[in-house]
Amino acid sequence: MVTPTSIHPVRRTGAGRFLILLLALASWPTFAAAREGSAEVAPLNTHAKRYGGGWECDRGYLESSRSCVAIVVPPDAYLDSSGRGWQCNRGYKRADGACAKIDMPPNAFLHSDGNEWDCARGYRKTERACVAVPVPDNAYLAASGDRWQCERGFRVHGDTCERLAIPQDGHIGHSGDSWDCDRGYQKRDASCDAVGVPSHGHLDYTGNHWTCDSGYREKGEICTKDERREP
């Protein structure tokens, strides 16, 4: 049989838990208010960061002293792709925090970025002008378009192109502005002399020198049997 004294501790335990719950509910508004007061208030012209907490300024604004200040875009300019700066329109360039119109001389064109100019093909930039490139006889404009090169078989001589003096048994070199000797000949000053190939020798891969056959080694101007290779 259960006596009153055996259930008395259970009643006290249930009452204690109920009292703790009441105290927690009573203190929640104060706790929530404290948390709300500690949260940072975002300034105007901001939005929440895409990743992580906090805020960042909207496009067209920059952070300054925990606020967002509008970017001042000068005339003839626009906000750049980042939204944090500005660029001058095509045909203008930065100058003292503004955009100044680019003054192009005759025979010039704007770069692809639109903020600088260069001279047209056949002209050379000189300070603020484009000067025509004088191309001499037997020459042509180089790929850059602002200088000239001599044709094959000629070389630069001052402001002109002079013809190469190619000796007998010689030919125009790979570069086109010098000469080389034919195979079997070698340069001697301004001429091509025959390569003296000794016995047991042959022309090397250049065609302008000789080397000894297998089993022979060079000794002065001849090829001698390589005794070191004897069994």
Q: So what's the pLDDT on residue 16?
A: 56
In which domain, by residue range, is 67 found? 45-101
Is 60 within the bounds of a domain? yes
Averaged pLDDT score across all residues of the chain: 85
In sequence order, the 6+-apart residues with CB closer than 8 A to the CB of 2 are none
**Is 26 part of a structural domain of the chain?**
no
- The angle at the Cα of 71, spanning 69 to 73, to the nearest 5 degrees, equals 155
Q: Does residue 94 fall inside a structural domain? A: yes
The count of structural domains within the chain is: 1
167 falls within a domain = no
188, amino acid identity: R
Instruction: Decide if 121 is inside a domain.
Output: no
CA–CA dist 2, 223 (Å, integer):
128
Asked, for residue 184, whether it belongs to a domain, the answer is no
Identify the CA nearest to 209 among candidates 226, 221, 225: 221
Q: Is residue 82 part of a domain?
A: yes
pLDDT of residue 31: 41
pLDDT at 230 (0 to 100): 56
Q: Confirm whether 208 is domain-assigned.
A: no
User: What is the pTM assigned to this prediction?
Assistant: 0.56
Residues of the chain with pLDDT under 70: 1-40, 229-231
